[in-house]
Chain A
Amino acid sequence: MKRRPPSADDSIDREIAFHIDELTHRFIEEGVPPGEARRRALLEFGGREQVKQSLREVQTWPFAEHLFFHLQAAIRFIRKAPGFSVAVGLTLAFAIGANSAVFSAIDAIIFRALPFPESDQLLVLSQRNTQGRDTNPFVAPVRLEEWNQLNSTLQAVSGYYTDDLSETSGPLPEKVTEALVAPRFLQVMGVSPALGRGFTTGEEHWGGPNAALISYAFWQRRFNGDPNTVGKKLHVDKYSYTIVGIMPASFQFPSRDVDVWCTSAPDAPFAQRRDATWFTVIGRMKPGVTIQKATADLRAVQSELGKQFPKPDSQFTVDAVALKETVVGSIRDSLWLLYGSVTLLLLIACSNIAALLLARTAQREQEISIRYSLGASRTTIMVQIFSEVFGLALLGSMAGLLVAAVAARGFHRLADTLPRATEITLNWKIVGYSLLVAGLTTILCGLIPAVRGTRRGLASSLAHNSRTQVSVRNRLQWTLVGVQVAFAVALLLGAGLLLRSMQQIARVSPGFDPSHVLTLQVSGSWAETADKDALSARIRRTLDGLRTLPGVEADATSGTLPGASYLYQLEFKVDGKSEPGHPLYADSRYVSGGYFETVGIPILLGDPCRLSSKTLEVIVNRTFADRYLNGSPIGHQLSRAEGDFLPTAIIRGVAADAHEEGINKAPVPTVYTCYSAPGPFPNYLIRTHGDPAVLADAVRRRLHELEPSRSVYAVSTLQDHLDNSLAENRLRTLLLTLFAVSAVSLACIGLYGTLSYLARLRRKEVGVRLALGALRSQIVARFLGQGLRVTGCGCLAGLALGFAFSRVLHGMLYGVTAVDPLTYAGVAALVLTIATLALLFPALRASRVQPAKVLRDQ
Chain B
Amino acid sequence: MAPLEKADLLQGTLDLLILKVVALGPVHGYGISQRIRQISEEVLQVQQGSLYPALHRLEKKGWLEADWGESDNGRQAKFYRLSAKGRRQLAAEEETWERLSRAVTLILQTAR
Contact = CB atoms under 8 A, between A and B. Distances in A.
A51 B60 contact: no
B36 to A, nearest CB: 14
A22 B33 CA distance: 11
- Of the candidates A22, A50, A60, the one having the most CB atoms from chain B within 10 angstroms of its own CB is A22
B105 interface: no
A18 B30 contact: yes
Contacts of A54: 49, 52-53
Contact of A59 (B56, B65, B73): B56
B78 A46 contact: no
A32 B9 CA distance: 30
Contacts of A19: 28-30, 33, 48
Interface stretch (A9-17, A430-438, A544-552): A9-17
B52 A55 contact: yes
Interface in B55-75: 56-57, 59-60, 65-68, 71, 73, 75
A232 interface: no
B53 A51 contact: yes
Contacts of B29: 15, 18-19
Interface string B68-88: 100101011110000000000
Nearest to A1: B60
A50 B49 contact: yes
B48 A5 contact: no
Contacts of A310: none
A60 B49 CA distance: 19
B5 to A, nearest CB: 13
Nearest to B28: A18
Contact of A46 (B47, B57, B60, B68): B47
B52 A21 contact: no
A785 interface: no
B30 A22 contact: yes
Contacts of B28: 15, 18-19
B71 A18 contact: yes
Interface in A39-77: 44-47, 50-51, 54-55, 58-60
Given A18-B75, A51-B48, A2 B66 contact: yes
A59 B67 CA distance: 16
Nearest to A15: B78
Contacts, number: 57
Question: Of residues B33, B48, B57, B68, which shows the largest number of chain A Cβ atoms within 10 Å of its Cβ?
Answer: B48
Given A2-B66, A47-B49, A14 B78 contact: yes
Interface residues of A, number: 24
A14 B77 CA distance: 8
Contacts of B33: 19
Contacts of B59: 2
B75 A58 contact: no
A641 interface: no
Interface string A13-42: 011101101110100000000000000000
Secondary structure call for the A interface: helix
A524 to B, nearest CB: 80
B57 A58 contact: yes
Given A5-B68, A18-B28, A58-B60, A51 B49 contact: yes
A25 B72 CA distance: 13
B67 to A, nearest CB: 8
A42 to B, nearest CB: 11
A656 B90 CA distance: 100
A356 to B, nearest CB: 38
Nearest to A5: B68
Contacts of A23: 30
Interface in B31-52: 33, 47-49, 52
Contacts of A11: 78
Contacts of A47: 49
A15 B52 contact: yes
A766 to B, nearest CB: 50
Contact of B49 (A2, A18, A46): A46
Contact of B52 (A1, A2, A25, A51): A51
Nearest to B47: A46
Chain A CB within 10 A, most for which of B57, B66, B71, B78: B78
A296 B77 CA distance: 78
B56 to A, nearest CB: 4
Contacts of B67: 2
Contacts of B48: 19, 44-46, 51
B76 A18 contact: yes
Contacts of B71: 18, 22
A14 B76 CA distance: 9
Contacts of B78: 11, 14-15, 18
A60 B60 contact: yes
Given A2-B65, A18-B71, A50-B49, A55 B60 contact: no
Interface string A431-451: 000000000000000000000
A47 B49 CA distance: 7
Contacts of B60: 1, 58-60
Nearest to B45: A44
Contacts of A55: 52-53, 56
A60 B57 CA distance: 10
Contacts of A22: 30, 71
B110 to A, nearest CB: 41
A599 B71 CA distance: 101
B53 A58 contact: yes
Contacts of A44: 48
> Which residue, of A2, A15, A47, A51, has the highest number of chain B Cβ atoms within 10 A?
A15
Contacts of B49: 46-47, 50-51, 54
A59 B57 CA distance: 8
A2 B57 CA distance: 13
A25 B28 CA distance: 15
Contacts of A51: 48-49, 52-53
Contacts of A5: 68
Contacts of B53: 51, 54-55, 58
18 contacts: A2-B65, A2-B66, A5-B68, A15-B28, A18-B28, A18-B29, A18-B71, A18-B77, A18-B78, A19-B33, A21-B75, A46-B48, A47-B49, A50-B49, A51-B49, A54-B52, A54-B53, A58-B56
Given A22-B30, A25-B73, 18 more contacts: A1-B60, A2-B59, A2-B66, A2-B67, A18-B75, A18-B77, A18-B78, A19-B48, A21-B75, A22-B71, A46-B47, A50-B49, A51-B48, A54-B52, A54-B53, A58-B53, A58-B57, A59-B60
Interface of A: 1-2, 5, 11, 14-16, 18-19, 21-23, 25, 44-47, 50-51, 54-55, 58-60
Listed from nearest, the 4 A-B pairs whose CB atoms lie closest are A58-B56, A22-B30, A19-B30, A54-B53
